[in-house]
Amino acid sequence: MSSFAWLTICLQALIYVSLAPLLTGWIRKAKARLQNRRGPSVFQPYRDLRKLLAKDVHVAHTASPLFRVAPYIVFVSTWLAAITVPILVVELPTAAVADLIVLVGLLALGRFFLALAGMDVGTAFGGMGASREMLISALAEPAMLMAVFTLAMQAHSTNLSTIVTHQIELGLSLKPSLMFALAALSLVAIAETGRIPVDNPATHLELTMVHEAMLLEYTGRHLALMEWAAQVKLMLYGALIVAIFFPWGMTEIVDVDGVMIALLATLGKLALLGAVLAGAETVLAKARLFRVPALLNFALLLGLLGLLSHVILEIGT
Amino acid sequence: MTKPAWTREFLDALARDGVSVVEERPDSAVPVHRVRIHSADWKPAATACATMEARFAGIWADQHDEGYVVHSLYERDGRYLELSTFLDPGAALLASLSCLFPAADRLERHMRDLLGVQVDGGDGRRWARHKAWQAEEFPLRSDFPHAGRPPRRVPSDVDYPFENVRGAGVYEIPVGPVHAGIIEPAHFRFQAVGEDVLRLEVRLGYVHKGIEKLAVGRDPRALARLAARVSGDSAVSHAWAACQAMERATGCLVPPRALVLRAVLSERERVANHIGDVGAICNDVGFSFAHVQCARLRERWQRRNAGVFGHRLLMDSIIPGGVGVDIDADAERSLRSDHEEFRRETTTLFDVIEDHPSLDDRLISTGILQPGDARALGCTGFTGKASGQGFDVRVHAPYAPYDTLAMKTAVCVEGDVAARVRVRMMEIEQSLEALDRMLDQMPSGPTSTTMPAAGANAEGLGIIDGWRGEIVCFVRFDSQGRVARYFPRDPSWFSWPALERLIHGNIVPDFPVCNKSINASYSGHDL
């Protein structure tokens, strides 16, 4: 293994934590422009994080130690999950652990602690947020796995590197199974990252919150880590969709030129995806909470259709 | 003078029930028929009103030298009836009307907490009384110092006895009085199973400013200034109601130009608030496009207010005897072009809002206020109109200049959030059209006149259709021509109980949008 390969791994990991706030800022900016507003600068999320990191931490009297460690667990598990998704180079030394099941597991770990922390202080909002988050994730996870299996069957592996390599070799293809899987994964991504129509990241209404409700008791650096983790998660889903369905530009050869091209390609694709998300969020209102299961069941159905169409139409050809 | 139909019927019914009328004053200047009865007949008389399906429009008490006078107001077919009774300070209790008119409950508690007029029956819990006053202190009484007592540390209000719901899986959600957004304070206590709301109880009073006490001893001009600050979003409506009450008490004839200008101000206030509400409702369901557009339109509208009338919220533009503002040809032209532009922009915007599937999904069938509930509570304004209660003071009991403007009412019957949005949109359209007509027929002449000095104990009742609904305002002068009693009854007294009813069967995350669709005033209610 060359040291450059390891350097690239570190670069990938750093890109996630350093550029995730920029992606969030970009989506907010795009939304603001679509609403005829000027909006804050794309760097505003960095300023917010810096502000929160500098602030004192206040913890409720009723909080257990879990409340204090949860932000670190959530941040680290989300980051680790993000690292499994390749954004620049496919065949890296860590490719062996970059497994889709691992990814789902790491995200579930973060969510588990997030929900526990939400309930820990004992306020009504935290409990409500945790219960809603669990409702959403219980339905989102099967849909995600179904989409993942569709991809895994194509590449005969659940390893992300292998899947991406397979997709690159496949070139531009309009397989029905891939279309279904893309639709299912997009719906799951919207639900899991708390975007409209599932959750409203900009709301101040305690009673309608899902993700924000669990963070209401957090302050200072704890809150900064939680927010940051949410931003990384958003970038993770974006990178996942980009890597699997639009992997062009990603390199298999580890050299400086290849990495640079891959970096530019990935950033461009993420920016485009963010703009699409902003557009969708502008034309949609938030759905009623009990319509969310219907949406996620639809995602599950799409995943299942993807799997079936692969089995029926694509195997043996 | 011919007596209005239902009050005639009512007086006949009283005679049949053996209720003797102490004093009867048909008021020629106002469509209010005043009847004084004995305190023992308080409930039988109210029962007669209830039997005749009159709408309850308020109850308040007034301390005179010799005792208390309690007033209550009813309306049917655009005709008002004011029942009042005299209470000896040490006399028997007055019967509660809350079993006949549920909306009377909080007004009675307000009266009891601030003035110490005890009511027999009804909800015995304190309402306006938070912990700032001792148990036997009544801040509105004349022996209570006008400046209040020196501030001390007020114990936290933790032991208010909320109603409880018991059962498997029932849990309580306390919300407020401090909220995550920048809104006024109120405490909402939900009892829920899962996400379904079983019961909601609202606890208000956190923005009590002592308006009624502050009014005592003011001259008319200062009272109008105070009235504009009862609820900032209803600056024009409350000031107009207070001025109308004072003008009726003193027999002041307001010049026609001033009256039309008042109507212009009032309709401008209505448009600004309705457009703001439509946007805010959309924002509460995460549809920020409409929110931003409405906010933009409202902002431009209010800047015009500042440019032409000198204040964004039009505060202090209405003064006793007229208005303190005037418009010239330039101002009229810019107002007209505003109307045109506003109409053009809202046509497109309202099309989007009315025809947006994902918005419809959230607003239609959410927070239904049954027409029966709206009638029982006496809801007016968009809250009532969206539930089939078409009463509008401008239409059914028109005061000048609306008596010549032939306004229409916008009525829907669905009673859901979507209907309340629709009523607002229709009212905006009608107001713009009325504004144009008012500019067309703007009379010339003075914009104000000097209000004659008030006689001792002169009383007046102002009744105005504010943008939230009917505002009733009672003013009595003392022997020096200064205000002895001021009571503004904001429509919010009836829309807060409506909110508690319409939330039944809805889910917790739909509460904010239901609340926003009612948009009751905290400040106007807490006084």
| B359-390 pLDDT tens trace | 888 899 899 999 999 999 989 999 999 999 98
The span from the CA of B396 to the CA of B407, in Å, is 9
Of the candidates B180, B289, B510, the beta carbon closest to that of A288 is on B510
Residue B65 has pLDDT above 60, yes or no: yes
Do A267 and A260 meet the contact criterion of CB atoms below 8 Å apart?
A: no
The span from the CA of B520 to the CA of B489, in Å, is 13
Burial of B390 (0-12, 13-18, 19+ CB in 10 A): middle
Would you call B180 and A208 a contact, using CB atoms and an 8 Å cutoff?
Answer: no
Distances (CA, A) of B524 to B176, B231, B234, B435, B484: 18, 5, 9, 26, 20
Of the candidates B173, B180, B509, the beta carbon closest to that of A289 is on B509
Would you call B175 and A206 a contact, using CB atoms and an 8 Å cutoff?
Answer: yes
Residue A271 has pLDDT above 90, yes or no: yes
Helix (H) or strand (E) holding B235: helix B235-250
Residues of B with CB under 8 A from a CB of A: 171-175, 179-182, 195, 282, 284-289, 292-293, 296, 356, 358-359, 361-362, 366, 507-512
Would you call B289 and A34 a contact, using CB atoms and an 8 Å cutoff?
Answer: yes
The span from the CA of A85 to the CA of A116, in Å, is 26
Average pLDDT over residues A10-38: 91
Helix (H) or strand (E) holding A278: helix A256-283
Average pLDDT over residues B146-174: 82
Give the contacts of A268 (CB within 8 A, at least 6 positions apart): none
Would you call A288 and B356 a contact, using CB atoms and an 8 Å cutoff?
Answer: no
Residues of A with CB under 8 A from a CB of B: 31, 34-37, 124-125, 128, 196-197, 200, 202-208, 216, 282-291
Residues of B in contact with A128 (CB under 8 A): 173, 508
Q: Which residues on neighbouring strands pair with residue B171, listed in sequence order?
A: B192
The span from the CA of B322 to the CA of B509, in Å, is 46
Residues of B in contact with A291 (CB under 8 A): 361
Domain range holding A64? Answer: 3-137+202-286
**Which pLDDT does position A11 carry in this prediction?**
86
Note whether residue A256 is domain-resident.
yes
Residues of B in contact with A207 (CB under 8 A): 173, 175, 508-509, 511-512
Note whether residue A155 is domain-resident.
no
The 10s digit of each residue's pLDDT in B439-463 is 998 888 888 888 888 888 888 899 9
Residues of A in contact with B281 (CB under 8 A): none
**Which pLDDT does position B4 carry in this prediction?**
55
Which residue of chain B is at minimal alpha-carbon distance from A209? B509
**Which pLDDT does position A201 carry in this prediction?**
81
Note whether residue A295 is domain-resident.
no
The span from the CA of B169 to the CA of B130, in Å, is 31
More confident residue, A80 or A256: A80
Between CA B240 and CA B247, with CA B241 as vertex, the angle to 5 degrees is: 85
Residues of A in contact with B356 (CB under 8 A): 285
Residue of B183, B285, B361 for testing the chain A interface, max A β-carbons within 10 Å: B285
Cα dihedral value B295, B298, B299, B303, nearest 10: 180
Would you call A206 and B195 a contact, using CB atoms and an 8 Å cutoff?
Answer: no
ipTM, two decimals: 0.84
Q: Name the residue type at position B130.
A: H
Q: Which residues on neighbouring strands pair with residue B32, listed in sequence order?
A: B80
Phi–psi pair at B464, nearest 5 degrees: -130, 145
Q: What is the maximum alpha-carbon separation in chain B?
A: 70
Would you call B289 and A282 a contact, using CB atoms and an 8 Å cutoff?
Answer: yes
The 10s digit of each residue's pLDDT in B216-225 is 989 999 999 9
A208-242 core/surface letters (b: 16 or more CB in 10 A; e: else): bbbbbbbbbbbebbbbbbbbbbbbbbbbbbbbbbb
The span from the CA of B126 to the CA of B159, in Å, is 11
Residues of B in contact with A284 (CB under 8 A): 286-287, 358
Residue of B193, B288, B362 for testing the chain A interface, max A β-carbons within 10 Å: B288
**Which pLDDT does position A317 carry in this prediction?**
54
B211-526 homologous superfamily:
Cytochrome-c3 Hydrogenase, chain B (1.10.645.10)
Do A36 and B297 meet the contact criterion of CB atoms below 8 Å apart?
A: no
Tokens of A152: 């895994």
Tokens of B265: 């101000």
Q: Which of A201, A205, A217 is closest to B188 using CA atoms? A: A205
Where does the pLDDT of residue B397 fall: very low under 50, low under 70, confident under 90, or very high at 90 and above? confident
The span from the CA of B500 to the CA of B503, in Å, is 6
Average pLDDT over all residues of chain A: 88
Q: Which residues on neighbouring strands pair with residue B305, listed in sequence order?
A: none
SS3 call for B443: coil
Q: Which residues on neighbouring strands pair with residue B190, listed in sequence order?
A: B173, B200
Average pLDDT over residues B40-60: 88
Average pLDDT over residues B4-28: 77
The span from the CA of B48 to the CA of B11, in Å, is 9
CB atoms within 10 A of CB B152: 7
Would you call B296 and A36 a contact, using CB atoms and an 8 Å cutoff?
Answer: yes
List the single range of A70-74, A190-194, A265-269, B174-178 with lowest mean pLDDT: B174-178
**Which pLDDT does position B92 carry in this prediction?**
64
Do A269 and A112 meet the contact criterion of CB atoms below 8 Å apart?
A: no
Would you call A207 and B361 a contact, using CB atoms and an 8 Å cutoff?
Answer: no
**Which pLDDT does position A303 carry in this prediction?**
93
pTM comes to 0.89
Of the candidates A34, A284, A289, the beta carbon closest to that of B358 is on A284
Do B284 and A205 meet the contact criterion of CB atoms below 8 Å apart?
A: yes
User: What angle in degrees, to the nearest 10, is found between the helix axes of A220-245 and A44-54?
Assistant: 150
The 10s digit of each residue's pLDDT in A295-314 is 999 999 999 999 999 888 87
Note whether residue A236 is domain-resident.
yes
Domains B5-120 and B211-526 share a fold: no
B459-465 β-sheet, strand order: B459-465, B470-477, B483-489
Where does the pLDDT of residue A221 fall: very low under 50, low under 70, confident under 90, or very high at 90 and above? very high
Tell me how far apart the terminal alpha carbons of chain B are, to the nearest angstrom: 37
**Which pLDDT does position B28 carry in this prediction?**
59
Residue B88 has pLDDT above 90, yes or no: no
Residues of A in contact with B296 (CB under 8 A): 36
**Which pLDDT does position A83 carry in this prediction?**
87
Residues of B in contact with A214 (CB under 8 A): none
Tokens of B236: 């024009």
**Which pLDDT does position B361 carry in this prediction?**
87
Minimal CA separation from A254 to chain B, in Å = 44
Residue of B190, B283, B287 for testing the chain A interface, max A β-carbons within 10 Å: B287
Residue B150 has pLDDT above 60, yes or no: yes
Minimal CA separation from B356 to chain A, in Å = 9
Residue B1 has pLDDT above 50, yes or no: no
CATH topology of domain B5-120: Beta Polymerase; domain 2 (3.30.460)
- Top mean pLDDT of A306-315, B61-70, B486-495 is at B486-495
Give the contacts of B298 (CB within 8 A, at least 6 positions apart): B272, B275, B276, B279
Cα dihedral value A235, A236, A237, A241, nearest 10: 100
Percent of chain A at pLDDT above 70? 98
Q: How many residues does chain A have?
A: 317
SS3 call for B36: strand
Residue with tokens 């004349």: B142
Distances (CA, A) of B522 to B19, B416, B424: 38, 22, 20
Would you call B171 and A200 a contact, using CB atoms and an 8 Å cutoff?
Answer: no
**Which pLDDT does position A316 carry in this prediction?**
64
Instruction: Tell me the domain boundaries of chain B.
Output: 5-120, 211-526
Question: Which regions of chain A does DSSP assign to beta strands (E)?
Answer: none
Note whether residue A73 is domain-resident.
yes
Tokens of B296: 């933009």
Average pLDDT over residues A108-132: 90
Residues of B in contact with A37 (CB under 8 A): 292
Pairing of strands B32-37, B79-87: parallel
Give the contacts of A86 (CB within 8 A, at least 6 positions apart): A12, A92, A95, A98, A160, A161, A164, A243, A250
Give the contacts of B386 (CB within 8 A, at least 6 positions apart): B369, B412, B414, B415, B416, B419, B420, B422, B423
Residues of A in contact with B367 (CB under 8 A): none
**Which pLDDT does position B30 carry in this prediction?**
64
Percent of chain A at pLDDT above 90? 41
Tokens of A169: 């070799």
Total count of domains within chain A: 1
Do A295 and A287 meet the contact criterion of CB atoms below 8 Å apart?
A: yes
The span from the CA of B268 to the CA of B275, in Å, is 11
Do A28 and A231 meet the contact criterion of CB atoms below 8 Å apart?
A: no
The span from the CA of A221 to the CA of B414, in Å, is 48
Which residue of chain A is at minimal alpha-carbon distance from B173? A124
Where does the pLDDT of residue B273 fall: very low under 50, low under 70, confident under 90, or very high at 90 and above? very high
Do B209 and B486 meet the contact criterion of CB atoms below 8 Å apart?
A: no
Note whether residue A116 is domain-resident.
yes
Which residue of chain B is at minimal alpha-carbon distance from A197? B286
- Top mean pLDDT of A258-262, B3-7, B147-151 is at A258-262
Residue B498 has pLDDT above 50, yes or no: yes
**Which pLDDT does position B2 carry in this prediction?**
47
